[in-house]
Chains A and B, each alone.
Chain A
Amino acid sequence: MKFSRIKGILLQNLFFLRHSFEDIIDTFFWPTMDVIIWGFMTVYFASLRGPVAGVVSFLLGGLILWNIVWRAQQDISFALLRNVWDRNILSLFASPLLPSEFIIATIILGFLKIILTLSFVSLVAYFLYYFNIFSLGFYLLPFFAALIAFAWAAGIFITGLIIRFGMRIQSFSWSLIIILQPLSAVFYPVSVLPAILQKVAFILPTAHIFEGMRQVLQTGKISPEHLIWATVFDIIYLIISSVFFAFMFEKAKEKGKLAKAEM
């Protein structure tokens, strides 16, 4: 593994960001719009009295955080898809670039993009609503990190599917993770799910993360149990998705998929 090759992929995406209006929109515009719209709604609901105000805060928090999972996963898949759309996959993988270097570069890129987006959005939230994101408590940070790790695992898994099956399944990049949303207890506790689905939810880090986050917001205390389970399953899914990607990459080579410029 060589840093210069990881740097190559990072540079490519930096150049994309420099020239692509869509990338700038994705990184700054949509998150800012989310903050503005949901900020006003939060201001409105905060003015209401009774339990509604608290419930709505959970819903809004869930929505914004799920959006982060969705975008972080897309960052990983889109780094590959862009090269598929540009008929550049063959040149990339005919070079000394290793698939693992490509994935590491996209993870670093996703991380940098989230830091950039979050910093910008925090500033917008602070100046518009005098809202300090860190006032939510540093206890949320480990859950937030676990959420991003799961998004990366999902992104790597979906990238593996795309490299094997090509553009015909490219819509998975923005749709597949939605399947997990009902089981992730984003807007409601896991306890409302039927018993069998609760068992499925248990193996999803997202369900532990959203449950744990709600607990932090309600009690101001961290739930070690949810955090541990989320971390354990994140590690398992990151390993599984990496092995899956490597397997799919080899399958794609076997089927001659990488040789097809447009996949």
Chain B
Amino acid sequence: MKEVVLEVKNLTKDFDGELAVDGISFGIEKGEILGLLGPNGAGKTTTIMMLLGVTKPTSGEIKIFGLNLATHRQEIANRINFSSPYISLPDRLTPFENLYVFAALYGISNPRDKIRRLLNDFDLADMENELTLELSSGQLTRLNLCKALLNDPELLFLDEPTASLDPEIALKIRDLLFKIRRETHISMLYTSHNMEEVSRMCDRVIFLNKGKIVASDTPLNLTRMIEDYFLTITFDAPLEKVKNFGLKKKLDFDIPQPNILEIKIKEKDVGPILTQLARDGIDICNVAIKNPDLEDVFLKISSTKK
């Protein structure tokens, strides 16, 4: 059995009668990346803030590295870190100076080489001595990630780490995070609105809605919750004929363009429907099948729990 680095039991946060987090329990194993998903206001940020020790839980218990956060915050804070695009760093200091300050706060001795290596890894070496206010939002996100990795954390909270990054840099950051995980067995709690990214990054995903955990599993198992596949068929046949086919078979369909048929269908029915279309003399020029993904799970959970 793997070592558990984070253990949350019945965690609740009530802001003056408004329940932001409602008795959630979960854990993260060493080296695991856990995705925390949910619509706005689901309680993701409040949960992360309680795990960082900057928001006091109303009730419940948080254990990190086997230590109670309420009584061992100092010890734990040295071994964790976080990054969020919604925070910043003093903009009249240079990136190097900002990281130097945090190196002192995390008690890192002789931090110069480490800071330079991180700035280099995140393509910020050229900006080392510019003022932070000169950085673009993408560069600022990367600087925050440098800050988050400064103390070689064993547990990292990443709140939308690739927001505001262009796709090429986002991919590089993901690769870098994977590399760090391979080398150090770091554990991560990861939030993102990019479901494809969560699918790729996370070993396991928790869905929060209205402060409660409504689903928890691997990305693959979660997508299995969705039985519907989306078929997009480009056809060459009279429109009425295609419409009548859909009505006759009682399909959940749409014809967004005169030669495009979209059908929401169960996986097992994909083959028979395509065969029947051909039998009815509807020429099929192209077929695209979209498998359910985490975004569909997200939309389903968000809509059913409202």
Q: In the bound complex, how far is the Cα of B106 from the Cα of A5, in angstroms?
A: 7
A144 near B: Cβ within 8 Å? no
Size bin of chain B's contact surface:
35 or more
Would A15 and B97 be within 8 Å (CB), given that A86-B91, A259-B54 are in contact? yes
Of B82, B87, B100, which one neighbours A88 at CB under 8 angstroms? B87
Binds B, one of A93-101, A116-124, A146-154: A93-101
A96-B56 in contact (CB<8A): no
Contact assessment for A12 and B101 in the assembled complex, using a CB-CB cutoff below 8 Å: yes
Q: How far is the CA of A256 from the CA of B16 in the complex (A)?
A: 11
- Contact check, A5 vs B105: say whether CB atoms are below 8 A apart: yes
B93 touches A19 (CB 8 A): yes
Q: Are B92 and A20 in contact (CB under 8 A)?
A: yes
A90 and B54 within 8 A (CB) = yes
Instruction: Give the residue name and chain of the A residue nearest to B74 (CB).
Output: A96
**Interface flag for B131 (CB, 8 Å):** yes
Chain A residue at minimal CB-CB distance from B83: A91
Q: How many residues of chain A have a CB within 8 Å of chain B? A: 34
Contact with A along B65-108 (1 / 0, CB 8 A): 00000000010011001101011111111100100111111110
Whether B202 is near chain A, meaning CB under 8 Å from some CB there, is: no
Does any Cβ of A come within 8 Å of B147's Cβ?
Answer: yes
In the complex, the answer to whether B77 meets A12 with C-beta atoms within 8 Å is no
Asked if B49 is at the interface of the complex by the 8 Å CB criterion, the answer is: yes
List residues 1-40 of chain A with CB under 8 A from any CB of chain B. 2, 4-5, 7-9, 11-12, 15-16, 19-20
Tell me, rounded to whole Å, the shortest Cβ–Cβ distance linking A26 to chain B.
14
Beta-carbon contact of A259 and B55 below 8 Å? yes
The smallest beta-carbon distance between A18 and chain B, in angstroms, is 8
Residue of B whose beta carbon sits closest to that of A258: B54
Given A11-B101, A12-B90, A94:B53 Cβ within 8 A? yes
State the CA gap A15–B98 with chains docked (Å): 9
A180 to B207, CA, bound (A): 54
B52 at interface, CB cutoff 8 A: yes
- Residues 142 to 175 of chain A near chain B (Cβ within 8 Å): none
Contacts of B103 in A (CB 8 A): 8
Contacts of A221 in B (CB 8 A): none
**Complex partner residue of A91 from B13, B92, B102, CB under 8 angstroms:** B102
Interface string of A245-263 (1 = CB under 8 A from B): 0000010011110110100
Q: List 15 A-B contacts (CB under 8 A).
A: A4-B104, A8-B102, A8-B105, A11-B100, A15-B93, A82-B90, A86-B88, A90-B54, A90-B87, A91-B102, A91-B147, A95-B102, A96-B105, A256-B55, A259-B46
5 smallest CB-CB distances across A and B, nearest first, come from: A8-B104, A259-B49, A87-B88, A96-B77, A8-B105
Q: A19-B92, A94-B53, A95-B102 are in contact. List 12 more A-B contacts (CB 8 A).
A: A11-B104, A12-B101, A15-B94, A15-B97, A86-B90, A90-B84, A91-B87, A91-B147, A250-B56, A256-B46, A258-B54, A261-B86
